[in-house]
Amino acid sequence: MASKKQRNATGNAPTADTPAAKTSLRRYFGEQTDPQRRDKMAPAAQTRGTSPMASEGSTEDHEIRTLLTQLPSKSDLAAMFQKLEDSFSEKLQAVNADVQQLKARVQDLEEETENTNKQWAESYTTQETHAEAIRYLQRRLEDVDNRGCQNNLRVRGIPESAEGFTENPIQVLTTLFNRILARPNDTAITFDRAHRATGSRNLPPDRPRDLICRIHNFPLKEEIFRKARQNKELTIDGQLVTVFQDLAPSTLQARRALRPITQALLERQIKFRWNFPFALTVNLQKKTHTISSPEDVSEFQRELKLPPSDVED
């Protein structure tokens, strides 16, 4: 029995490693509610000055309270968050102002771009209208110029020396035209004028300049031109002579621009003719194909199955 009581006494005795040695830290977390333990402890007034554990706990308590007092309070946190919110709000307002300014500038640029596009479209339409009007006026002027040349004939191949014996091209032309008409050489033909054409830099130096004449009687001029086209062996001083209808320079340039097409027609042995003042006409398989403007070229080539070629406008 004694040994059992001794073991119990020994087992109930508190040691340095048991929780009883650390009871001084528990009061930081609240008062103990167990009445038996409270009754067994000495009064705080009697043990505070004598127990070393109480002194150590008091120091720790003071340090913890000091640390707790240094922590920010709820009002401090609220003030800090309010300050951050105000700072962010101020910066966001500045960013929003910049965005609004950029938005206004972008809208202005879009409006300016839209206005510029409208003005460009209007200018383009106006330009196309003016270009079409200019082309129309050019064709009208060309037609007037060609109508003024209706009575004119251009004779190519007469040597410059052929005029030497008379010093007058009218006499040479009178003889030539009477030969074409199968009339006596001295039969009178009324000329309004006759002269050499202006020399061209593209012509060979030994090639004579063309003779241009205006015959007063239009039916007579037409008869001379028709019979001259039928006679392919007209010569003067051994030089081959060719008679053409005199045309405006712009019409001659337009005919030269169609040379790739006329060359393709000749290679395929397709007959064509020039209408006055400017029109390339082909009659094939009881159908007439005509080029009278640059817009007709593509359809003309497609219908006649000609190779595509670049034609100047």
- Residue 8 in this model has a pLDDT that exceeds 80: no
Q: What is the pLDDT of residue 86?
A: 85
Q: What is the pLDDT of residue 14?
A: 44
Q: What is the pLDDT of residue 63?
A: 82
Instruction: Output the average pLDDT for the chain.
Output: 80
The pLDDT tens digits for 110-125 are 999 999 999 999 999 9
Helix (H), strand (E) at residue 279: strand 279-284
72 pairs with which residues across the strands? none
Q: Please give the average per-residue pLDDT across 272-286, as a whole number.
A: 86
Distances (CA, A) of 143 to 124, 247, 248, 278: 28, 10, 9, 9
- Residue 30 in this model has a pLDDT that exceeds 70: no
Q: What is the pLDDT of residue 180?
A: 93
Q: Fold match between 152-246 and 250-303?
A: no
Q: Please give the average per-residue pLDDT across 296-307, as a whole number.
A: 89
Poorest-pLDDT segment among 85-94, 160-169, 181-190: 160-169
Q: What is the pLDDT of residue 120?
A: 94
The pLDDT tens digits for 170-200 are 988 999 999 999 999 889 999 999 998 886 6
Inter-residue contact 161 to 239 (CB < 8 Å): no
Poorest-pLDDT segment among 165-174, 219-228, 241-250: 165-174
DSSP 37: H
Has domain 152-246 been given CATH number 3.30.70.1820?
yes
Task: Give the whole-angstrom CA distance, residue 277 versus residue 274.
Answer: 8
Give 84-126 as a DSSP string. Answer: HHHHHHHHHHHHHHHHHHHHHHHHHHHHHHHHHHHHHHHHHHH
Distances (CA, A) of 229 to 8, 31, 225, 226, 233: 156, 139, 6, 5, 10
Cα four-point dihedral sign 120, 126, 129, 131: negative
Q: What is the pLDDT of residue 220?
A: 96
The whole-model pTM stands at 0.56
Poorest-pLDDT segment among 23-27, 56-60, 157-161, 234-238: 23-27
Top pLDDT among 59 and 52 is at: 59
Top pLDDT among 304 and 10 is at: 304
Q: Which pLDDT band, with edges at 50, 70 and 90, does 225 fall under? A: very high
DSSP 305: T
176: nearest Cα among 124, 228, 105: 228
Listed by start position, the domains of the chain span 81-148, 152-246, 250-303
Residue 235, token pair as written in the block: 């010569």
Top pLDDT among 98 and 1 is at: 98
How many helices (H) and strands (E) are present in the chain, helices listed first?
10, 9
The pLDDT tens digits for 203-216 are 676 788 889 999 99
Top pLDDT among 154 and 207 is at: 154
Task: Give the whole-angstrom CA distance, residue 196 versus residue 160.
Answer: 9
> Looking at domain 250-303, which CATH architecture does it have?
2-Layer Sandwich (3.30)
Poorest-pLDDT segment among 92-96, 172-176, 291-295: 291-295
Q: What is the pLDDT of residue 200?
A: 65
DSSP 290: E
154 pairs with which residues across the strands? 212, 244
DSSP 210: P
- Residue 47 in this model has a pLDDT that exceeds 70: no
Q: Which pLDDT band, with edges at 50, 70 and 90, does 46 fall under? A: very low
Residue 299, token pair as written in the block: 């359809």
